[in-house]
């Protein structure tokens, strides 16, 4: 069911500072910031030869990233995103095996313009999992 790792997401308290660090210190190519109000975040992607790193900053006080940063004010790994061929088939298979899909269970459009779902971290050893249809 799982394809390649699409990206690893890191929550950051200051997106501009994180971009500067990745761009100027690590020499990485970083995309322009993209606000995703439906997800409550502003994101950039660090392009790597084999995957991407997504840097997330809260977009408003009700953002799930704001809650994450209250627990980890310096930031940290937020989730791992895996690619799937058919997100609805993956959702149904996961639900049948007892995994919890967050939200209303229906995919939303993610930062890449493709359907995404999130799986409860308690079902995956403390790691929030995002699935993205490719």
Domain count, the chain: 1
Q: Which residue has the tokens 């704001």?
A: 66
Q: Residue 34 has what pLDDT?
A: 97
Residues 87-113: pLDDT tens digits? 999 999 999 999 999 999 999 999 999
43-82 b/e (C-beta count within 10 Å ≥ 16 → b)? bbbbeeeeebbbbbbbbeeebbbbebbeeeeebeebbebb
Q: How confident is the model at residue 131 (pLDDT cuts 50, 70, 90)?
A: very high
Catalytic (active-site) positions: 130
pLDDT-based confidence at 30, cuts 50/70/90? Answer: very high
Q: What is the pLDDT of residue 8?
A: 98
| Continuous segment of H or E residues that includes residue 47 | strand 41-47
Distance CA 108, CA 129 (A): 14
- The pLDDT of residue 98 is 96
Q: pLDDT tens, 40-72?
A: 999 999 999 999 999 999 999 899 999 999 999
Range of the domain at 122: 5-133
Quote the pLDDT of residue 82.
98
CATH of the domain at 30: 3.10.180.10
What is the per-residue pLDDT for 21? 98
Residues β-bridged to residue 29: 47
- What is the pLDDT confidence band of residue 39, given thresholds at 50, 70 and 90? very high
Note the pLDDT of residue 44.
Answer: 98
């Amino acid at each position: 069911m799982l394809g390649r790792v699409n990206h690893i997401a890191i929550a950051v308290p200051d997106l501009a500072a994180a971009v500067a660090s990745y761009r100027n210190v690590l020499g990485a190519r970083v995309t322009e910031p993209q606000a995703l109000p439906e997800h409550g975040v502003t994101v950039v992607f660090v392009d790597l030869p084999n995957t991407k790193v997504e840097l997330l900053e809260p977009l408003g006080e009700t953002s799930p990233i704001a809650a994450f940063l209250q627990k980890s004010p310096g930031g940290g790994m937020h989730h791992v995103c895996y690619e799937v061929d058919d997100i609805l088939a993956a959702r149904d298979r996961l639900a049948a095996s007892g995994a919890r899909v967050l939200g209303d269970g229906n995919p939303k459009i993610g930062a890449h313009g493709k359907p995404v779902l999130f799986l409860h971290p308690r079902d995956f050893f403390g790691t929030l999992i995002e699935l993205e249809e490719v």
